[in-house]
Structures are given as C-alpha cells and as structure tokens.
Structure 1
Amino acid sequence: MSVMTPPRSAARNAGRAPGAREKFSDWANRHRKWLFAAPAMAFVGVLIIFPLAWTLYLSLTDSQGSVRAATEFIGLENYLTVLSDVERFWPAVGRTLTFTGIALVCEVALGMGIALLLWRPFRGEKWVRVAILLPLVATPVAVGMMWRLIFDPNIGFANQLLAAVGIPAQPWLSGQDTALGTTIFMDVWQWTPMVVLILLAGLTSLSEEPDEAARMDGANAFQRFFFITLPLMMPTVIVAILLRGIDALKTFDILYATKGKGGGSFHEVETLNVYAYGLSFDYNQYGLSSAVLILFFIIIIGSMWLLTMRKKAVSK
C-alpha cells in the first residue's frame, strides 16, 4: 500500500516561520488606516513644509527688490530689526492681540447665547437658523465693502440712523480711535454664526439627566447653566475658541478691504498680517516680511499649544 507524502516544497516549508511576505501583510493589515492616509498626509506635509522652509530661509537673508535678486545671508539681523521696531511692529502685535481677544470674547458670548436660544425646538426654528447663518455665505471682502458703505461718514446708513435719534455722526472707520472697534464689530457680525454652529452641536450632544436632576433640586436657569451646562460644554467651548482664535489672529480680508494699505493713514487697524503684507508688496522687503511672518507663526503655534493644553486639562 502506497503512503501519500506531501510535496517536497511543502515539506521544506513545514515548521518554518512565516516569510517576509506574510509578515509584511500582517503589518500592513494592522496599520492600514495609516497606509491609506499616508499619501495625502505626505502631500499636505510638503505643502506646509516647503513654504515654511522658504520663508525661514528668506528671513535669514537681505532679500529685497526681487526674489530673484542676489541675496546675502545675514543671520538674525532681520529679526533684531523687526523686534526693535517700536513704531510699527509692536503696535501691530498689540492690535492683533486686541482684535483677536475682543472678537473672541464677543463671538463666544453671543454664540453661546444664540445657541442656547436655538437649543430647544420652537416654531420657525429652521428659518431662524437660516437667517443666523446668512453672514457666513458672503466672502470677507464683500462683507468689508458692505460695512464700509454702511459706515461711510457722508452717505452711510449708520450715521443717518444716529441722526434720526439725535446722536451726532460718528467717524466709524475714518477715526483713529473707532476704526479698530468698527472692524472688530464686522468680524463679530460675520463669524459669530460659526461659533453658534459649534456650540449648538455640543449642546445637542449633552445628556439631559444632569439638567433634569438640578431642576428637580430647585436650581434656577442661571444656576443650571453656570454649574451644569457650562462645565459640561467647556471642551466644546475651547474647541470653538481654538478654531476661531486661529482664524481671527490671521484676519486680513476685512481689514484690507476697509482700510487699504498700512491699515489706514495712521496704521489704526494694522495687524501683523497687514504689516507683513505691506513690507512684501508695498516696500518689497522680503527678508523683513519673512521675519515678521515667522514670528507671527510662532505666536500662532504658541496660542494653539496653550489652548490645546487647556482643553486637555478640562477634559480630564
């Protein structure tokens, strides 16, 4: 009687550890989500790293007039020049932080109030939500031009409305003391709906049990909000601050559309973005403008890190 024997190749592989192909297949299966995302991540990484590296290089040179002109490596001289500029750079830093801080406070406060109003269903809710989201439809430049006409000192509707109630006309965008506040109002008008969307999503995801328990214990609406709803909403609030704060820090469109070069004749709304733009395209000082942008990038990264750490602390 003949005995069936396995093929010679199978006999050789019997008891042998899995080959490289099997090991790679297992590894690829375990890390498939990263492998599928790797091409897109690499592409985005190149898009970020190359401009940042080129800007960093220009900030260390005396590049001016033309990016094709011969340049000389000067080290940190541009940074020292920028940091010692107390007439334009540091006031621009102050305006940037002021613009961002006031806009964020107003947008988060108004956004939370509107989100609370929209939290519970009511008649006409869909139409109200559509109306609230309308400012997001327009581009920032169009919004800036619209409000520039409204706040025009001669034909603007704002001063006509003030005159109708006996209040003197205001300079709005043309005044040194009012221009920054007016542009902050424009930013708040356009971007508060974005904060409303984020906070409303957070509110709808909250469990109703803590609020109902507090209601049964006799807590009023303010107590339930400050001691129940707001602490539960803090991670979402910080996300809204992070997203909107980064965007507000680099606001450019509205400021340039309303005040033009230099943020106005007296640089009344000149933020870091407007300042860097002027150095690049008005004075062709590419080395100095690159140094400003690198310092601005550090400010943004630092702000992101602080808010991220705060979010982690709140989430614990």
Structure 2
Amino acid sequence: MTALHTADSVGLGERLSRWADRHRKWVFAGPAIGFTVLLLAVPLGWTLFLSVTDSKRSVRRAFDFNGIENYLGALTDFERFWPSVGRTAYFTVAALVFELIFGMIIALLLWKPFRGQGFIRTVVLLPLVATPVAVGMMWRLLFEPNIGFVNEMLSWVGIPPQPWLADPATSLTTLVFVDIWQWTPMVALILLAGLTSLSDEPQEAARVDGANDWQRFWYVTVPLMRPVIVAAVLLRGIDALKTFDILYATKGKGGGSSHDVETLNVYAYGLSFDYNEYGLASAVLILFFLIILAVIWVLQMQRKGRDS
C-alpha cells in the first residue's frame, strides 16, 4: 500500500512538472496578472456600485439605489460637467499636439551624435525629475502677476505684466504650457528611441534619389516612425487626460474661483472631497473612464486602418 501510494505521488508530481513546463509562461506571469486584475477590478467595481446609489455626506450613511439618476444628472449638467469635458479635451489635445511637435524636433536634434550630446540629453530630461506638484508650485511663483519672474522679464522689453494664472481667459492655456514644458522630454525620449532603431538604408536611398531633408523626413522618417508615434500619442494622451496635480496645485479647489481650469478629474475630486457627493462623483468617474476607453479605441482603429 505504501509503495503504491508513493508511486502515485511520484506520477502526480511528474505530471504536474510536465504541465508546468508546458505552461511555464503562464505559471510565472499568472500571479502578477491576477494581482493586476484584482487591483483594477476592485476599485472599478466599487466605483461602479457607488455610481448607482445616492451615497453622499458620509461614507457611513445608509444609501439607496437610484439606478442611472447620477448619470442623467451628470449628462444634463451644462454648468459644470460639460464645460469640464471641454476643458479636458482642450487641455489634452493642445498639450499633446505641441508635445509631439517639440518632442520630434528635440529627438531629431539628438538623433545624430555630436559633442556634448550626453550633457544635452541630461538637461533636456531635467523637467521629468520634479514631481507635478512641485512643478505646479514653481510655475505658480514664476507666473505671479506682481513679483513673478516671467512678468519681470517681460518688463525688460516693455511688455506690461500679464495675469497668466489669475485671469480665467488665460489660466488654462498657461497650464497647457506648463504641461508641455514638463512632458515634452518624455515624448522626445520615446521618439528618439524609435529614431535610433531605424535603418540607414531608406535614408540613403532617398538621398541618392535626390530627396532633400524635408522630403526624407516627411516621406521616409515619418512613415517608418508611425508605430512609435502612435505609441507616444497613446501613452501621453491618456496621461494628459488624467492630469490633476498641476491643476490643483496652481488653482486649488474647483479649478479656481471661476472653475477656469476645472477638468473632469478636478470636478470629480471636488464632488468627492469638497461636497461629499460620492454617488455623483462615481458616475462622473465612470463616464470619464468610458471617454478614455473611447479615445483608446479610436486611436487603435486608426492605427489598424493605416497598417492595412
């Protein structure tokens, strides 16, 4: 009996060993994948649950289910919700377009080796070292209307002081500039990695055919770089959509007294922590999540259409 039990144990161990060897990629990656799914599913599920309740004022207060009432309330809110959607779109598109343009210029300048290239790369990447809150506070001081260094420099050339962050008409555009200053190096780094992986043969062939620098860039470099550009757009675009730190650090609650920089993130944060409207805030976050998924889907469809 003991010998039979031992033989069965050895046989089971061998079968498990062979199974693990055949599926070793899932055996090693499984725990990390499971943990990641759990880390995403639990908060998302709880937010979705709260979004169909009237939870507010206190987390210990009893709440009732109200179906899609919170979603209808958000979608019919033309005073705060839809303006925040517009600001989010403006901030994301404006920042992303200029970051791609400036990032490509920087990547092209750093593409070919030159003396002092290592030092220049280090300097270019310095904005990424600071945290967004620190960057926001730094630029808030620089843009201060009375004692800020930016207005001081403008006075040297006879330009009167500008309100920058103090004026609702210019505050969001000013913060777009701050975002461009901080995150253009990341886009440049992604594009530079793509450029360094390109073969020299297409460039040489185009040069032999008489193409000038602009023609080689537009008709050779850009098509070859399209997958990398799409990856940079996805990574930076999603990150720009979720921007919160510099907006809150510079303008405070509600995106300022006039809500001039209130994006969806700032709006949802205010609903949760300023007004304790947990159900409505959860509905706004779910809608925001759906917007992000829609943006990702559109970009993926465009990439597949171009690849085909």
Whether these two folds match at TM > 0.5 is: yes
The reply on whether 1:201 has 2:180 as its aligned counterpart is no
Q: Which letter maps to 1:125?
A: Q
Give the secondary structure class of the aligned counterpart of 1:154: coil
Counterpart of 2:8 in structure 1 is: none
Aligned to 1:222: 214
Amino acid at match of 1:174: A
Taking the aligned partners of 2:255 and 2:76, their CA distance within structure 1 comes to 20
Unmatched tracts of structure 2, length 5 or more: 5-10
**Which of the residues 291, 297, 302 maps onto 1:299?**
291
- Structure 2 length as normaliser, TM-score? 0.94
The corresponding residue for 1:55 is 47
Q: Deviations over 1:66-103 (max 9, x none)?
A: 11210100000000001000000000000000000000
- Which residue identity is paired with 1:149? L
Matches for 1:126-137 after TM superposition, within 5 Å: 126-137=118-129
The residue correspondences of 1:15-94 to structure 2 (distance < 5 A) are 24-94=16-86
Are 1:286 and 2:278 matched, yes or no? Answer: yes
Number of aligned positions between the proteins:
299
Distance 2:66 2:194 in 1: 50
Of residues 168, 172, 177, the one that matches 2:169 is 177
Offset of residue 168 of structure 1: 1.6
Tell me, yes or no, if the aligned pair for 1:235 and 1:314 is still in contact at 8 Å: no
Q: Per-residue displacement from partner, 1:103-161 (whole Å, max 9, x unpaired)?
A: 00000010001000000000110000000000000000000000000000000011111
Q: Which residue of 2 aligns with 1:109?
A: 101
How far is the alpha carbon of 1:289 from its aligned partner?
Answer: 0.3
Is 1:167–2:159 an aligned residue pair?
yes
Contact 1:256/1:263 (<8 A) preserved: yes
Q: Percent identity?
A: 67
Q: Distance in 2 between matches of 1:242 and 1:34?
A: 27
What residue identity is the alignment partner of 2:53?
T
Q: Deviations over 1:151-179 (max 9, x none)?
A: 00000011111111011211100111100
SS in 1 for 2:125: helix
Q: 2:302 aligns with which of 302, 310, 313?
A: 310
Tell me which residue corresponds to 2:139: 147
SS of structure 1 residue aligned to 2:243: coil
CA–CA distance in structure 2, aligned partners of residues 60 and 156 of structure 1 = 46
2:268 match: 276
Match of 1:6 in 2: none
Letter in 1 for 2:284: V
SS of corresponding position for 2:168: coil
Counterpart check, 1:242 vs 2:234: yes
* Pair member with larger Rg: 1
**Are 1:260 and 2:252 an aligned pair?**
yes
- Offset of residue 34 of structure 1: 1.1
List per-residue Cα deviations over 1:182-203 (Å, max 9, x = no partner).
0000000000000011000000
Cα deviation, residue 315, structure 1: 4.0
Task: Give RMSD over aligned pairs.
Answer: 1.3
When the two structures are superposed, what TM-score results if normalisation uses the length of structure 1?
A: 0.92
TM-superposed deviation, 1:26:
3.7
